Structure 1
Amino acid sequence: MLRFILRRLLQMVGVVIVLSMLVFLWLRSLPGGTVSAMLGERATPARRAALEKALGLDQPIYVQYWEFVKRAAQGKFGASTGVQAGTDAFDIFLQRFPATIELALFSIVLAIIVGIPLGYLAARRRASWFDNLSVVGSLIGVAVPVFFLAFLLKYFFAIQLHWLPVSGRQDSGIDATRVTGFFVLDGILTREWDSAWDAIKHLILPGLALATIPFAVIFRITRAAVLDVMDEDYVRTAESKGLTRRVIRGRHVLRNALLPVVTTIGLQTGGLLVGAVLTERVFSWGGLGEATALSFERRDYAVLQVLLLMFAITFVVINLLVDIAYAVIDPRIRTR
């Protein structure tokens, strides 16, 4: 198992290097560039030349890339010019990272808790009214745009019914103690239960909106995987041996059906972390998604490069965790 993990880690390093090259080259191919974003209307040829020299942009591309790697390793990406002008770009990432992680984890856990059992039950009751209704529900979950669903949830449950908060991560009137930046966890650690409950209430609507697509995908993959496994010879052999349904379902059906589901969960989690732009904007969440949208709008290349690089690393780390989960579920994977 250790050799398997080390092999995956070495592969991960190579992938990160390639991704850093792609991010570096793409950002430098964007119109305007860093110099125009920093100087704005004051951009004269003399000032542009001076700033390019100060930033090292007059050097050969390989020298610029090496300097980029050295600064990135130290967390030095420059100061923000648009999202939070004057603030260090990496500090903006650190400030907003807990908000997106908290929302993404809530959404994916919700999708897993509902999607896997529902997919399993739908497969067990193939072609029944329950199966057909579940499939229709999953199709609706994929088809409805996230931003539209977010507006609907906000309108009905926050504005019309006043059951849940309209936006933000927590009411401004709550004097909460900040420890980790994860508002729910902070409330639990400090035993400020009103703070934790208020943070959970703020999570529900954006979490539901963000969980719809992962739920639909996890449900359909689980259903399809369980149907495939149920038709395997070893399941029929287990039934003929007189094993109990609980043993057959747990040891033979669900365990083997989990392999494609684990991959799906990993990909969906990565997608939630980098794709929560619209949901965060609708609910004014203040996470990385909102920062990404603002950095594009305001041409804040310092923030944009740190966000893109961190998103790429996040995907790679999640894939590593998926590979490890694969190896735990199916030991044969470790030898490949």
Structure 2
Amino acid sequence: MLRFILRRLLQMVGVVFVLSLLVFLWLRALPGGTVSAILGEKATPERRAALEKALGLDQPIYVQYWEFMKRAARGQFGASTGVQPGVDAMQVFIQRFPATLELSFFALLFAIALGIPLGYMAARRKASWFDNLSVVGSLIGVAVPVFFLGFMLKYFFAIQLHWLPVSGRQDPGIDATRITDFFVLDGILTREWDAVWDALKHLLLPSLALATIPFAVIFRITRASVLDVMDEDYVRTAESKGLTNKVIRGRHVLRNALLPVVTTIGLQTGGLLVGAVLTERVFSWGGIGEAVQVAFTRRDYAVLQVCILMAAVTFVIINLLVDIAYAVIDPRVRTR
């Protein structure tokens, strides 16, 4: 098991290196560049030359990349010029990451809590009205754009029915204590139950909107996997031995069917963390997705660097954890 983890860690280092190189080259190929973003209308030739020398942009590209990697290893990406002018870019990421992580966690919780049970029940009732209805629902979940669903949810439940808040993470009138910047967790730790309830109400609509695509994917993978496992010889052998349905489902069907589902959940988790841009904009969530959108608009390259690179590192770490979980569930994976 230790050799398996070390092998995956080495692969992770290689992936992060390639991603950092791509981010470095891509950002320097964008129109305008860092100097124009910092100087703005004051970008005279003399000032541009002075700033390029100060930032090391007059050096060869490989020297610039080496300096970029050294600064990145220390968490130094420069100051924000557009999202939060003057604030360190890493600090912008640290401030906003809990919001995205909290939203992604609850969206994934909805997707798993609904996708796996419904996928299993649909497979057990293949070709029934329940199966057909579930498949149609999952297709709709993939087809409907997240931003459109978000606006629809806001219109019906927030504007028309006034059941839930329109946007934001918490009512500004609530004097909540901040410990971790995860609003629900902070309320639980401080036993401020009004803050917990208000944070959950704000989470419900954006989480549901963000959960639609991962729910549909997890549902389809679970259904297909359960159908495949139910046709295996060892399941029929277990049935012929007279084992109870509970034992067959738990020991033979679900355990083996969950292997591809675990991988799917890991990929969807990474996708949620890096792909919540539209949802955060619709609900004014204030996470890294919204920061990336603002950074693109205002050419804030420091924030773009840290958000994209840290999101990529998070995605790679999640995939490493998925590989480890996969190896725990199926020991055969460790030998591959």
TM range (shorter): over 0.9
CA distance in 1, matches of 2:292, 2:87: 15
1:110 shift after superposition: 0.7
Q: Over residues 140-176 of structure 1, what are the superposed CA-to-partner deviations in whole Å (9 max), with x where a residue is unaligned?
A: 1111110000000001100111100110000000000
Q: Name the amino acid aligned to 1:10.
A: L
Q: What does residue 280 of structure 1 align with?
A: 280
Distance 2:120 2:268 in 1: 19
Q: How much does 1:7 deviate?
A: 1.4
Once the two structures are TM-superposed, the CA of residue 11 in structure 1 deviates from its matched residue by 1.2
Q: Which residue of 2 aligns with 1:211?
A: 211
Identity fraction in percent = 85
How big is the shift at 1:3? Answer: 1.8
What is the aligned partner in structure 2 of residue 127 from structure 1?
127
Displacement after TM superposition at 1:181 (Å):
0.6
Q: How does 1:1-336 map to 2 (within 5 A)?
A: 1-336=1-336
Distance (Å, rounded) in 1 between the aligned partners of 2:99 and 2:316: 20
CA distance in 2, matches of 1:213, 1:200: 21
Q: Which runs of 5+ in 1 are unaligned?
A: none
Give, in angstroms, the shift of residue 335 of structure 1: 1.1
Q: Structure 1 segments of 4 or more deviating over 3 A? A: none
For residues 187-215 of structure 1, give each alpha carbon's deviation from its aligned partner in whole angstroms, at most 9, with x where no partner exists: 00011111111101100000000001100
CA-to-aligned-CA distance 1:211-257 (integer Å, 9 cap, x gap)? 01100010000000000110111111111111111111111111111
CA-to-aligned-CA distance 1:35-86 (integer Å, 9 cap, x gap): 0100111111111110000000001111111110111111110000101111
In the alignment, the residues of structure 2 paired with residue 259 and residue 33 of structure 1 have an alpha-carbon distance, to the nearest angstrom, of 45
* Matches of 1:179 and 1:275, distance apart in 2: 26
Q: TM-score, normalised by structure 2?
A: 0.99
Structure 2 unaligned spans of 5+? none
User: In the alignment, residue 331 of structure 2 is paired with which amino acid?
Assistant: P
Secondary structure at the aligned position of 1:181 is classed as: coil
TM-score under structure 1 length normalisation: 0.99
Amino acid at match of 2:47: R
Compute the displacement of 1:317 (Å). 0.5
Paired residues in the alignment total 336
Shift of 1:12: 0.8
CA-to-aligned-CA distance 1:249-270 (integer Å, 9 cap, x gap) = 1111111111111111111111
How far is the alpha carbon of 1:139 from its aligned partner? 0.7
The 1-side partners of 2:23 and 2:282 are apart by: 28
User: Aligned partners of 2:328, 2:201: CA distance in 1, in Å?
Assistant: 35
Q: How far, CA to CA, are the matches of 1:127 and 1:288 in structure 2? A: 42
Q: Which amino acid aligns with 1:22?
A: L
**1:97 maps to amino acid:** F
**Distance in 2 of aligned mates of 1:192 and 1:219:** 36
Give the deviation of 1:14 after TM superposition: 1.3
Paired with 1:246 and 1:3, the residues of 2 have a C-alpha distance of 36
CA distance in 1, matches of 2:247, 2:314: 37
User: Helix, strand or coil: the match of 2:177?
Assistant: coil
